[in-house]
Amino acid sequence: MQGKSKTTNNAGTDRDNKKVRYLILSGGLLPVLLAGIISHVTANSMGDLSESRIRESHGQMETIVSKCMDTLQDLALATGASPAGLRPLVENHLRINPSKSDNREIFEWLKTRQMSMSDLRHDKIDALILEARKNYQVSLAELQDVRETYRKHIDSVYAGFWLRRNGYPRIESVDWSDQQ
C-alpha cells in the first residue's frame, strides 16, 4: 500500500510541478504579450498623430497663402478672378525669411498689369505680405519640427520597428519634400 501511495504522491507532485511551471511560464509571457500589444497600439497612435499634424501644417500654410492672395486681390486688383502667375509669386515671397522683406517682384508684377499704386496701398500690401510671411514661417518651422520628430521615430530601433510593422510612413513622398 505504501508503494501505491508513493506513486500517487509522485504523480500528484509531477502534476503540481507542471502546473507551477505552466503558471510561471504564462505569468512571464503575459507581461511580454501585454507590452507588445501596448507598443503596437502606441506606435500606431504615434504614426497617425504625426501624419495628421503634417497634413494639418500643410493645410495651415495653404490657408495663409489663400488669405494673403484674397487680401492682395482686394487691395491691388479689385477683381474676383486670380490672375495666372500671382499665386506662385506670392508663395515664393512667403517662403523668404521675414527679415528680408523685399517685395519688389510683386510690385513689378502689379505694375506690368498696369495697376496704379498709391503710397497707402503700397504700404498696406507691404504690411500684408510681411504679416503673411511671418505666419507662413511659423507654420513652416512647426511642420519641419513635426517631420524631424517623425523621422527620428521611424529611424529609431524600437518605435521604428512598430511603425514600419504598422505600415508607416503612409503619407506620400511629395509631403516629405522640404519647402524653403
pLDDT single digits (tens) 119-134: 667 788 888 888 888 8
- pTM score, two decimals? 0.70
- List the chain domain ranges: 2-176
pLDDT, one tens digit per residue, over 29-38 is 888 888 888 8
Separation CA 12–CA 75 (nearest Å): 93
pLDDT, one tens digit per residue, over 36-58 is 888 888 888 999 999 999 999 99
Q: How confident is the model at residue 180 (pLDDT cuts 50, 70, 90)?
A: very low
